[in-house]
Amino acid sequence: DAEITQSPRHKITETGRQVTLACHQTWNHNNMFWYRQDLGHGLRLIHYSYGVHDTNKGEVSDGYSVSRSNTEDLPLTLESAASSQTSVYFCASSERPGLEVFEQYFGPGTRLTVT
Amino acid sequence: GDSVTQMEGPVTLSEEAFLTINCTYTATGYPSLFWYVQYPGEGLQLLLKATKADDKGSNKGFEATYRKETTSFHLEKGSVQVSDSAVYFCALSDLAMDSSYKLIFGSGTRLLVRP
């Protein structure tokens, strides 16, 4: 069965370190998204990609970067981790929509703690 | 910009009670509307969706009707079960916004159903 996986599931890091969170999907979806989930804010979009070599900033992109070298993977990098980036991170993917409504499929999440 | 507002939680109900979770939205175009559910420790799953005014989405006993006149998409279930305990997110996707296919989420409503 197709799926979307994230690794690691839990990560503790120190302020100032570079951290990369992995996201891998086997749906063969063109669209991939990274969100962060914080209490009281729901999910907020960090970055998204509509295909290989395409990346776009979301509403909370400062301090994060992504790259898309193939269809299956969209790693999220925190260049210099800050305590404000302690959160739960979700990756999602979806088909390239035409005029139809699309569904985003979510990974299980990565809980990141920055000390 | 576009936004989604959900009622504050947590909502605590006894088993077999009637559930309503309110959701209202602001959008410049003609959005599609979604309810996603997040069970403890998991990612989000699509619960139901509606693409145009007066559409009713339904799944697993949950229903929501797209009301353009009141800009609402309230989630209802006639008889909740303990297994429905989760966080529920209302979301919209507005293609007219910027020719993108991003989801905008509400802050989530936690539902706790007691036996």
Could you read off the pLDDT of A59-81 as tens digits, one per residue? 899 999 999 999 999 999 999 99
Chain A residues near residue B106 by CB distance under 8 angstroms:
42
Contact B42 A58 (CB under 8 A): no
Min CA distance, B17 vs chain A (Å)? 26
CA atoms within 13 A on the CB side of A35: 23
Q: Could you report the per-residue pLDDT of A31-66, keeping only the tens digit for each?
A: 999 999 998 788 999 999 989 999 999 989 999 999
Short-list B50, B45, B52, CA closest to B64: B50
Exposure pattern of B42-68 as b/e (b: 16+ CB <10 Å)?
ebbebbbbbbeeeeebeeeebbbbbbe
Is residue B99 over pLDDT 80? no
Min CA distance, A100 vs chain B (Å)? 9
DSSP-derived 3-state class of residue A106 = strand
In a mutational test of the B interface, the residue from A34, A95, A101 whose CB has the highest number of chain B CBs within 10 Å is: A101
